[in-house]
Structure 1
Amino acid sequence: RARREAEAIAKIEHQNVVTVHDQVETDNQIWIVMKLLEARSLGDLLSGEGVLAVPRAANIGLQILQGLRAVHAASVVHRDVKPGNVLVRDDGLAILVDFGIATFEGADRVTRTGSVIGTPPYLAPELFAPAAPGPTPASDLWALGITLYEMAEGRVPFAGNEVWEVQENIRQSPDPAIRFAGPLAPVIQGLLITDPRERLDAVTAEAMLREVLGDPAAPNA
């Protein structure tokens, strides 16, 4: 399966998704060779600036979403969308990188040791459930919502180093306070709906982000 995943990722051609040049197999492991980019991570950007202005956050969020739509169209789920895995070039282009734990939709959500795969503060709540169906595009969209919140508010809404801490924070306060996001608030709130069946889909989220940016044009494929 790992080879099929790597091959699927390599076929994705989109300006907001890192180019995969090759896959190398050694000792039953697949290594993905990606294009080297001259850019800094969104995580580093936030560390230096704290928060981003709403238009800039919306623009970066829209680009991440467009990249995710291309990824999901290939039946791939990134499952580690976060500022550290988004590179931002000096010209403003945002690129989704690090597909090291990407997988096909519906694959196992846990490792053989029982650990949930991904970065705890960005994990969708449905992935914590005992009978979870595994990662889906909706779980990537939750992580985008967390990332949008972090860009606008300067922190993650559900903190915690361990999965159980994040899970408890979501349970106690499922509607985090939004102070600075302004017109981004409805997008963030829609992406952070705990029930994945009611969460904003990618098309609706893209239309809302374009509206924030004053560009209500039909979403690009």
Structure 2
Amino acid sequence: MVDGLDPTGTSTSWTRTGPGGRDGPIAWGRVDETQVGSGPIDLTRGSLPTGSLAGTTLGGRYRLDRIIGAGGMAQVWEGTDSVLGRRVAVKVLHPHLADDESLVRRFRQEAIAAARLNDPGIVGVYDTCSDDGHEAIVMELLQATTLHQLIDERGTIDPDTTLRIGLRLLDALESAHRAGLVHRDVKPSNVLLCDDGRVKIADFGIAKADDQTELTRDGSLLGTASYLAPEQLTGTDVDARADLYSLGLVLYECLTGRVPFRGDTGAAVALARLHTTPTDPRRIRSDIPPRLADAVMRALERDPDRRFDSAADFRAALLHADVDVPAAVPGPPIEPPAVTTVEHDPPGFGRSERRWLLPAFLILLIAVGIIVAGLLFRESRQPDTAGPTTSSTVAPAEPLPIASVSSYDPQGSGTSGENDSLAARATDGDDLTAWRTETYDQPDFFGDKTGIGLVIHLAGRSRLENVRVSGSTNGWSGQVYVLDGDPDPAGPGDLHPSATLTDVRGPVSVDLGGATGTTVLLWITDLGDPTDGSRHRVEIQEVVPNGSPAPS
């Protein structure tokens, strides 16, 4: 099975469906394996010459075994890497396009763009080759279907699954944006839903680097009409927020089963978004959580300045949507609900017993109250024989002013901590923003690395009563240190922590016992359960130290 695109599109996807059901973290369900892209594709028709390249070896290494799909620019083959002995997907530019230098340049740009990225949510590119007039990109072969096919099968997708898909795509887009790349063609047929529950984004064929000119042909638009951002239509500068708009359209379609803009032609569909405000998805489907709908609608603002500033901001908003998310994906902290107990009369307990039981209980309470009041009155009249005393007044614990915050990665390879540019979000008073670690294969990091943390410098030396921490709910663990000055560049070492956190699965308030210092170090030692397939990370939304100025 191939997860292809519209036959007139500019790109293709590549998957192969294996046997058995889908029992990974996200169960996608079955789809009709004859469906490719927007409709059935006949693999025997003239535009897909299935036998012309079968058995051909490109670059002296990659044997083409069978065609598994095609799009407007290329065919996709399941192949064999004869050097490493592994199955691969080989994307081969259509022969009649190979003479077009601009298209060849775009095709090669896809390999260059994707190869720059190393993220579990982006389809991996292994190699590229040019052989006897054939241009090819070699990439990983996935057991997957596409989001396009899932929507075709189900009509709509439940909010929980939509949320999880969105979170994982935002992780991948954030990685691309950090590398200076804008995808420019985010759409359901470029979203791969792997059998093991992973979500990957494919096709950076029209991606644009910040420092490069746009790859266009004869002034034509690049991207699929239904998912273009308004600025892609008007020719204004395009940045990462265009991808967020397109993802908003994708999530809208997941929730409602349709794109918000329609028309008789691709141009009409594209132009509609310049003059039409999307219908709130809750008017189409009433069970969509309000915050999820609000996040999608903000992503669909025509003015880029009114959208989310970054993929991280969009992700934070989704994390606070009112949707139940399993531990496999970090979700918003949820306060325990109030419990209302309704007691039913057991057999044989009649009204007559209740008539005397309640008054008797009230009399007992009154009697106990009188006795306690008498004892307190007697104690208050006892003479003070202890002599004069000196009292020390401690100011009530309040949120302490913060001078600065930074990430702390003493065993890391870089000059700054992990995601240091996001560190201030952990103390900005906004639960919709967050700092987070990088992703790791193991919950206890790797090699000699023992942890990662946040350093919070207070405005002055303080007595700390407690610190409130909110963030990931995946069972992470760590320690809190109260220090004078900066932590040791080599790590906390043998320092004694002021508090230990274990299996954190929601907001916690940690007792610091009046420890005094100028610095709070939150040191994460275990990343908890996987948050994205088999990958581990922790997100910290807010750290609030509470206390009072230390006595001089």
TM-score normalised over the length of structure 2: 0.37
Worse overlay, 70-79 or 4-13: 4-13
Tell me what 2:247 maps to.
144
Change (3 A) 1:61 1:128: same
* Whole-angstrom CA distance in 2 between matches of 1:29 and 1:75: 29
Q: Report 1:112-123 matches (<5 A).
A: 112-123=217-228
Tell me what 1:206 maps to.
315
Query: Is this contact kept in 1: 2:208–2:215, CA < 8 A?
Result: no
SS in 1 for 2:168: helix
Picking from 190, 196, 211, the partner of 2:304 is: 196
Superimposed CA distance per residue, residues 170-205 of structure 1 (whole angstroms, 9 cap, x where no aligned partner): 234223231233231111111101111221131211
Q: Report 1:1-221 matches (<5 A).
A: 6-25=111-130, 31-105=136-210, 111-130=216-235, 132-133=236-237, 135-160=238-263, 162-179=265-282, 180=285, 181-182=288-289, 183-200=291-308, 201-212=310-321, 213=323, 215-216=331-332, 218-219=435-436, 221=438
Query: Is this contact kept in 2: 1:58–1:209, CA < 8 A?
Result: yes
SS in 2 for 1:157: coil
Worse overlay, 57-66 or 9-18: 9-18
* Whole-angstrom CA distance in 2 between matches of 1:28 and 1:107: 26
* Whole-angstrom CA distance in 2 between matches of 1:95 and 1:144: 13
Query: Is this contact kept in 1: 2:281–2:293, CA < 8 A?
Result: yes
The letter for the 2-side match of 1:170 is R
Worse overlay, 42-51 or 104-113: 104-113
Query: Is this contact kept in 2: 1:16–1:94, CA < 8 A?
Result: yes
Change (3 A) 1:72 1:176: same
SS in 1 for 2:137: strand
SS in 1 for 2:128: strand
* RMSD value, Cα: 2.5
**Higher normalized contact order (CA 8 Å, seq sep 6+, divided by chain length):** 1
* Whole-angstrom CA distance in 2 between matches of 1:145 and 1:39: 22
SS in 2 for 1:115: coil
SS in 2 for 1:79: coil
* Whole-angstrom CA distance in 1 between matches of 2:234 and 2:136: 30
The letter for the 1-side match of 2:114 is I
SS in 1 for 2:281: coil
More strand by percentage: 2
* Whole-angstrom CA distance in 2 between matches of 1:114 and 1:142: 22
* Whole-angstrom CA distance in 1 between matches of 2:220 and 2:269: 14
The Cα of 1:148 is off from its aligned counterpart by 0.5
The Cα of 1:4 is off from its aligned counterpart by 6.4
Structure 2 unpaired stretches of 5+ = 1-104, 326-330, 333-433, 439-552
SS in 1 for 2:247: helix
Query: Between Structure 1 and Structure 2, whose CA radius of gyration is higher?
Result: 2
Worse overlay, 172-181 or 184-193: 172-181
The letter for the 1-side match of 2:208 is T
TM-score normalised over the length of structure 1: 0.87
Change (3 A) 1:80 1:119: same
The Cα of 1:220 is off from its aligned counterpart by 5.2
Query: Is this contact kept in 2: 1:8–1:74, CA < 8 A?
Result: no
Query: What number of residue pairs does the alignment pair up?
Result: 219
Query: Is this contact kept in 1: 2:110–2:205, CA < 8 A?
Result: no
Percentage identity across aligned positions?
37
Change (3 A) 1:220 1:139: farther
The Cα of 1:105 is off from its aligned counterpart by 3.1
Worse overlay, 178-187 or 1-10: 1-10
